[in-house]
Amino acid sequence: MEVRETSIEDLLVIEPDVFGDARGCFLETYNRKRYEEAGLAFDFVQDNCSFSHYGTVRGLHYQVGQYAQGKLVTVLQGRVLDVAVDVRFGSPTFGRHVAVELTDENRFQFWLPPGFAHGFAVLSETATFAYKCTAYYHKESERSIRFDDPDLNITWNITNPIVSAKDLEAPAFKSIEKDFIFTSR
């Protein structure tokens, strides 16, 4: 397993070891001991899976308070552009984002700790997206940011996005509350 840093501290791309032969392939999508040995000690409490069609954009979502979630995300089938936005006030990368292409071919995983808004765009005909969370879903703690906010300048690589009514009503980035305050290590 290889763990790569991104341009924003704490956002990580994980490349699991994939063992292939004429039958197909095998990989561990999570092994607590191996991840801890790599310095990635997470306590996951909930697994989620979504299926979406081409052009779907989901996000940008995050939770706050005791329900703030870290997420380990991957694509089981298809191809997505996965995006994390730093919402930690005082962070040197506040408002910046990292976009990673996750596919069923590269099998990459993307780690987003609490303090990042998350979203993805489906670039293939369909995609099955899976994520492990460090906190339970809690509707009252959920927050969102408008996916096409011009202050974020995210290129989703989709011409006519399919977006839920809820996500279309999400507030602008400049109006988010100070739910996360950055503290340097």
**Residues with catalytic function:** 61, 131
Helices marked H in the chain: 32-37, 165-168
Give yes or no for a cis peptide into 72 (omega within 30° of 0): no
User: Please, how many CA atoms are within 13 Å of residue 170, restricted to the half-sphere of its CB?
Assistant: 24
What are φ and ψ of residue 55, in 5° steps?
A: 90, -10
Which tokens is 45 given?
A: 């409490």
